[in-house]
Structure 1
Amino acid sequence: MQNIKDIKTFVTNNPSEIKEIINRENYQVIIVCSYYDFLKTLRQLGYRGKIIYELQGAGVNVEKFLEPGVQTVKTYADAILIPQTTHLIQVIQKFLPDKKVFSFHNCFDFRTFKYQEVETPPRPIIGWVGRLEQNKNWRDFIKISSLLKNHIPNLDIWMFEDASLAQKSERRQFQNLIQKLGISSSLTIRSNIPHEQMPFYYSSIGKSGGFLLSTSKSEGFGYAVVEAMSCRCPVLTTDSDGVKAFVIDNKTGKFFNHSHINQAVSKGLELILIKEQREQIIQNAWQQINTICDPIQYFNNFEQMLLSITDKTAG
């Protein structure tokens, strides 16, 4: 909620209020993100316009997530929207081969979300953005950070999360692991940082000589990776599918294989210690997201989708 500014936004799960909003706003198209049960609800509330079902953020078990809702999507959605991410494309082809599909990269406002001039932090920083849950794979992040500290003893570790989303059992396991590995004194955890403040933190991580570490098992897109790249913060990431559109190994970032902790440590040290390669990666990364995530291209794709679904033409 703290990130919504200057956009007409309604927050409710009350069916009568939703129906009132739909009738008042007279939407021609509604996009339902991930929560497929709401497709049926919209029709039951009397909505007769077009519905697009957008699938993102389902994590590594996307088939398990979508399968119970396949019939609902078939019945109530007019089309599907997904990013150009291989595993999402394959899942849609498997479960919903006859549905009209729109697939294009998400946009990113690199003109405003960008590098800020910051003071150089006194110590190198490793950053991580996510939730304390299985798909974001915080355990590997903690293990990798702990081993990196053996090589760089003054390393700082920054984690950005939404504390309200972590299950109590997951939080306990997290606390136990950081105590066991002895990194509590080097760890700073920030919860629910407003999005507009994140360029400062990404810029600081990059300026420190550190990097963003992404340990996700699967990503539909990987916004944190793009955000870091836009702020001159190099990225070390698992090959989590969605990020392959903009991370090219040793050119715009670095990849390591899932659960290969020692490989991640080695590549992390390269990002910190090989200065010339690091600077080239930073420059290449910025160029890559400017090309892939251009908001103007996204606007054109989105407009064509709306025109197609409503059988209209531009102009």
Structure 2
Amino acid sequence: MKILVIWRLLTVGGVNAGWRNRAIYFKKYGIETEFLYTTDHGGAHIMQDVSTIYLTKDINEIVAIIKKNRYDAIIVVDTKNAFKWIRKAKFMGPVIVEARTPELLKLTPHLGNFRGIHPEKIIVPSHYQKRLVSIISQNVPIQVIYNGLDTSFFRPLAEEEADMDSIPIQPPDKKIIGWIGRIDKRKNWQMLIEIAKKIKKDRKDVEIWLIGGAQSIQREEFIEKRETENLTDIIKWFPVIPYQQMPSVYAKIRMSKGCTLATTKCESFGNTFIESMGCGVPVVAADIMPMNELVIDGKTGVLFSDQMVEKAVKSIYKILDNDKKQQKMSINAIEHVQKNFSIEHVAGQYVELLKSLDITKQQKEDGGEMHD
């Protein structure tokens, strides 16, 4: 079986990280996954050792790719123009839609008009996202399939296994808070600044690692704010860390008796949460969906309410100031991810869906009607 995933953005983020894990797992079941992107945002290294990648905005080239490769199914991730390309290529197989954008206004254009294509299902990564999608699209079945994690890769590395000499270097006598993601409005880096200011006033034993954001829209604003607030000593910024290095980064955070922090206002899932917990690092995040679908408050991390800086800082200190609690949360987090978010557990649901669609397609080819 051969499938094509169409998404406009080749980014370093949760969507591509999740699909990387799926593509590796699919191979075990004879499912070959290829990817088509229109815009490069520095994410090629995530997929380069896994799958074939096409990167083009040329409609004729896109149509030729779809025709030439004779895919068994196409999966469209938040890319409204893809339905036009599929129709122009006269693709007659099953189409699945993935809805990943967690903001209603931005998601609506991608689900509002399928241009004559009739999707078999809409796949969402959380129950929060299912609620959102149900507002827009009421005629297509919606199924929740969580992102899966390769727990043989994202696991708690021992010191001798981790690349301790790579950037970022773990400082002595500092507890590390990891903040991972794009530097934009939704990820709410402004709140991180305020949290850092409060922690800097309180103590000297903390360092914050901001991982990512090399091509983020608001990176210049962040750089200026970090400097004007005199936070360059506590917030260390690492714009580009290869995906393959992240287990070592999480290992350093865990060994420092630290945690990861999310200040995001909304997410459709939150891949960094399960990566962090899978590597034994507790997560501090807001007590909103889908964060509270992923993090168990008091067991695998701490959830704070109301997006308030004071409450976020107190939640962080619950972990940093109690090594035994941090270690217990670390163990709980690993078990939680292995049980609920391992790629074997989660991607198996997707394999079942794809296999059933393939059977449906064959039945149509054998005598039934195919959609336009």
TM-score, normalised by the number of residues in structure 1: 0.90
After alignment, is 300-309 or 45-54 more displaced? 300-309
CA shift, 1:265, in A, is: 0.8
Q: Which amino acid aligns with 1:138?
A: W
Q: How many residue pairs get matched?
A: 306
Q: Contact 1:40–1:72 at 8 Å: present in 2 too?
A: no
Unaligned 5+ runs, structure 2: 1-43, 165-169, 362-372
Q: Deviations over 1:252-282 (max 9, x none)?
A: 1111124210011111111001122211111
Match of 1:137 in 2: 188
Q: Secondary structure at the match of 2:238?
A: strand
Looking at structure 2, the residues matched to 64 and 225 of structure 1 have their Cα atoms a distance apart, in angstroms, of 25
Looking at structure 2, the residues matched to 7 and 158 of structure 1 have their Cα atoms a distance apart, in angstroms, of 30
Q: Contact 2:211–2:238 at 8 Å: present in 1 too?
A: yes
Q: Which amino acid aligns with 1:150?
A: K
Q: Which amino acid aligns with 1:2?
A: H
Q: Deviations over 1:27-78 (max 9, x none)?
A: 011001111221222112222211111011x24xx21012234331374241
1:71 and 1:219, CA in 2 relative to 1: closer, same or farther beyond 3 A? closer
Looking at structure 2, the residues matched to 121 and 73 of structure 1 have their Cα atoms a distance apart, in angstroms, of 52
Match of 2:305 in 1: 257
Match of 2:262 in 1: 214
Q: Secondary structure at the match of 2:300?
A: coil
Q: Contact 1:245–1:292 at 8 Å: present in 2 too?
A: no
1:17 and 1:74, CA in 2 relative to 1: closer, same or farther beyond 3 A? closer
Aligned with residue 115 of structure 1, among 156, 162, 165 = 156
Match of 1:157 in 2: 208
Matches within 5 A, 1:187-226: 187-226=235-274
Q: CA RMSD in A?
A: 2.0
Structure 1 residue 126 corresponds to structure 2 residue 177 = yes
Q: Secondary structure at the match of 2:53?
A: coil
Q: Secondary structure at the match of 1:72?
A: coil
Structure 1 residue 16 corresponds to structure 2 residue 16 = no
Looking at structure 1, the residues matched to 245 and 306 of structure 2 have their Cα atoms a distance apart, in angstroms, of 30
TM-score, normalised by the number of residues in structure 2: 0.77
1:188 and 1:83, CA in 2 relative to 1: closer, same or farther beyond 3 A? same
Greater share of helix: 1
Match of 1:186 in 2: 234
Q: Which amino acid aligns with 1:141?
A: L
Looking at structure 2, the residues matched to 191 and 137 of structure 1 have their Cα atoms a distance apart, in angstroms, of 16
Looking at structure 1, the residues matched to 279 and 139 of structure 2 have their Cα atoms a distance apart, in angstroms, of 41
Looking at structure 1, the residues matched to 219 and 46 of structure 2 have their Cα atoms a distance apart, in angstroms, of 25
Aligned with residue 283 of structure 2, among 225, 235, 248 = 235
Looking at structure 2, the residues matched to 82 and 288 of structure 1 have their Cα atoms a distance apart, in angstroms, of 21
Q: Secondary structure at the match of 2:183?
A: coil
CA shift, 1:8, in A, is: 2.2
Q: Secondary structure at the match of 1:110?
A: coil
Looking at structure 2, the residues matched to 252 and 71 of structure 1 have their Cα atoms a distance apart, in angstroms, of 38
Looking at structure 2, the residues matched to 184 and 222 of structure 1 have their Cα atoms a distance apart, in angstroms, of 27
Q: Contact 1:234–1:253 at 8 Å: present in 2 too?
A: yes
Match of 1:301 in 2: 349
Looking at structure 2, the residues matched to 15 and 111 of structure 1 have their Cα atoms a distance apart, in angstroms, of 39
Unaligned 5+ runs, structure 1: none
Q: Secondary structure at the match of 2:352?
A: helix
CA shift, 1:247, in A, is: 0.5
Looking at structure 2, the residues matched to 239 and 17 of structure 1 have their Cα atoms a distance apart, in angstroms, of 45
- Percent identity, please: 24
Q: Contact 2:153–2:247 at 8 Å: present in 1 too?
A: no
Match of 2:125 in 1: 83
Looking at structure 2, the residues matched to 185 and 273 of structure 1 have their Cα atoms a distance apart, in angstroms, of 21
CA shift, 1:159, in A, is: 0.6
Structure 1 residue 2 corresponds to structure 2 residue 45 = yes
